[in-house]
């Protein structure tokens, strides 16, 4: 498969702009298309503003920024993407809208062009049914801000060819990213456990066991997070987090959104986080176990399902979520009986089978 040199980006909102900024900066040519032409011009302005800051911070020279700007251009129609080696879709998260776009692109692009979706919640395999060449279709799931966050989930749909996955991985590495290969499963590799991490925090609140500030303080220690589950939700917005968790519903009741999250998310409010005082040891232990349960049970299940490899899950936790104690390494450190003690109450409460991966705890991270 030939190297990717020219990349088309369809949809130049938050994600399309970030992806374009990153890709252009790494020497590739980028063509932008948005249904609203002003959005593509705005993306170019935002990329230039980002590079101007990079110059100020000494991360880029003026010549490099000028060269990058010369590689970035908007096109007026989808037909302007015919010379692209890869087209990345980053339009609204609506199945029918994306399906129609892929049907149109299938009729326009040459057979050699790879097509990727940046969907967070839709099934890559179902979107692929709207492509003439589903074997050349994959998920490239970036994390916001895409010009900075190093992780990209490279998602293989049922029909994605192994060469397409390889090309996706090579493209990510060539653009300075750290790719994670994963199966087309709900929440892919990272949201699969990030969502229950925040959801267990909300359940603790619902059960009246602790305050948001206490939960954040203990959670930061429990997984080594830079920001606890409530502070981090206020950054991404509880409304967006609720939507991400609702997407995991087919995985069963353990993933059902907590009552308080539904309330705050539906009202599009932020979490109130007060001051934290001395936390009694017993309460501290309860919070720590529940936060770890949210992460551990989801990771054990995804390991059983072969969604992603332990090393990739840990890299994603470290790099995309800033967990200094990534799940597989932390489970190994705690040992099987401690992990079993932490997840056992949820297995009983939700009537779940014991994850087979529990037997690998101790040598998960290799
Ligand atoms: N925002 C995030 O944090 C995030 C993270 C990872 C993945 N995603 C996914 O990335 C995709 C884009 O999200 P976003 O937050 O950048 O959205 P956004 O609303 O900021 O931007 C979407 C852009 O797509 C354009 N658009 C809509 N329909 C179009 C069409 N048919 N043809 C061309 N352009 C069209 C819109 O004009 C808009 O500029 C979604 O699938 C989302 O789930 C978002």
CA-wise closest residue to 311 among 363, 265, 237: 363
CA of 167 to the centre of ligand 1 (A): 23
36 CB near ligand 1 (under 6 Å): yes
234 CB near ligand 1 (under 6 Å): no
What does pTM read for this prediction?
Answer: 0.95
Within the chain, residue ranges assigned H as helices are: 14-25, 37-56, 62-70, 95-108, 124-128, 162-174, 191-206, 212-223, 229-236, 238-246, 259-266, 281-304, 310-319, 327-334, 336-350
Look at residue 261 and tell me whether its pLDDT is greater than 70.
Answer: yes
Give DSSP secondary structure letters for 174-214. Answer: HTT-EEEEEES-TTTTTHHHHHHHHHHHHHHHHTTS--HHH
What SS3 class is residue 117? strand
Contact 127, 102 (CB under 8 A): yes
119 Cα nearest atom in ligand 1: 41
Q: Whose CA is nearest to atom 38 of ligand 1?
A: 13
Q: pLDDT for 70-85, tens place per residue?
A: 999 999 999 999 999 9
Q: Which residues contact 38 (CB under 8 A, 6 or more apart)?
A: none
338 CB near ligand 1 (under 6 Å): no
Per-residue model confidence (pLDDT) at position 220: 97
* HSE, side-chain direction, 13 A CA sphere, residue 211: 12
Q: Whose CA is nearest to atom 12 of ligand 1?
A: 90
Residue from 9, 10, 11 whose mutation best tests the ligand 1 pocket (most atoms within 8 A of CB): 11
Q: Whose CA is nearest to atom 9 of ligand 1?
A: 119
Neighbour order of strands in the sheet with 178-183: 72-74, 29-33, 6-10, 86-89, 114-117, 137-142, 151-156, 178-183
164 CB near ligand 1 (under 6 Å): no
Domains and CATH numbers, the chain: 6-183 (3.40.50.720), 191-360 (1.10.1040.50)
pLDDT band per the 50, 70, 90 thresholds, residue 1? low
Q: pLDDT for 280-315, tens place per residue?
A: 999 999 999 999 999 999 999 999 999 999 999 999
CA of 17 to the centre of ligand 1 (A): 10
Q: How far apart are CA 322 and CA 251, in angstroms?
A: 25
102 CB near ligand 1 (under 6 Å): no
Q: How far apart are CA 106 and CA 328, in angstroms?
A: 40
34 CB near ligand 1 (under 6 Å): yes
Q: How far apart are CA 40 and CA 17, in angstroms?
A: 8
Per-residue model confidence (pLDDT) at position 2: 66
Q: pLDDT for 184-230, tens place per residue?
A: 999 999 999 999 999 999 999 999 999 999 999 999 999 999 999 99
């Amino acid at each position: 498969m030939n190297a990717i040199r020219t990349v088309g980006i369809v949809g130049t909102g938050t994600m399309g702009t970030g992806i374009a900024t990153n890709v252009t900066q790494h020497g590739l040519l980028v063509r932008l298309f948005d249904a609203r032409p002003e959005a593509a011009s705005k993306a170019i302005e935002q990329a230039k503003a980002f590079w101007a800051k990079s110059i100020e911070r000494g991360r880029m020279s003026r010549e490099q920024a000028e060269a990058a700007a010369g590689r970035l251009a908007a096109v007026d129609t989808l037909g302007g993407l015919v010379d692209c080696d890869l087209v990345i879709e980053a339009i609204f998260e609506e199945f029918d809208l994306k399906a129609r776009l892929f049907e149109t692109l299938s009729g326009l692009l040459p057979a050699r062009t790879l097509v990727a979706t940046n969907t967070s919640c839709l099934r890559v395999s179902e979107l692929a049914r709207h492509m003439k060449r589903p074997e050349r279709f994959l998920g490239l799931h970036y994390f916001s801000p895409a010009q900075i966050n190093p992780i990209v989930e490279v998602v293989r749909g049922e029909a994605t060819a192994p060469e397409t996955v390889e090309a996706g991985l090579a493209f990510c590495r060539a653009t300075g990213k750290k790719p994670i290969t994963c199966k087309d499963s709900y929440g892919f590799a990272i949201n699969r456990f990030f969502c229950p991490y925040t959801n267990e925090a909300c359940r603790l609140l619902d059960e009246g066991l602790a305050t948001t500030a206490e939960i954040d303080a203990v959670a930061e220690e429990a997984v080594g997070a830079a920001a606890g589950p409530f502070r981090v939700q206020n950054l991404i917005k509880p409304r967006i987090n609720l939507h991400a968790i609702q997407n995991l519903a087919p995985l069963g009741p353990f993933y059902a959104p907590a009552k308080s999250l539904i309330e705050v998310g539906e009202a599009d409010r932020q979490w109130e986080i007060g001051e934290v005082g001395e936390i009694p040891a017993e309460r501290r232990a309860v919070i720590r176990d529940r936060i770890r349960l949210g992460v551990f049970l989801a990771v054990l299940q995804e390991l059983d399902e072969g969604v992603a490899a332990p090393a990739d899950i840990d890299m994603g936790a470290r790099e995309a979520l800033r967990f200094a104690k990534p799940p597989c390494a932390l489970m190994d450190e705690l040992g099987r009986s401690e992990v079993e003690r932490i997840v056992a109450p949820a297995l009983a409460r939700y009537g779940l089978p014991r994850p087979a991966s529990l037997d690998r705890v101790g040598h998960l991270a290799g």
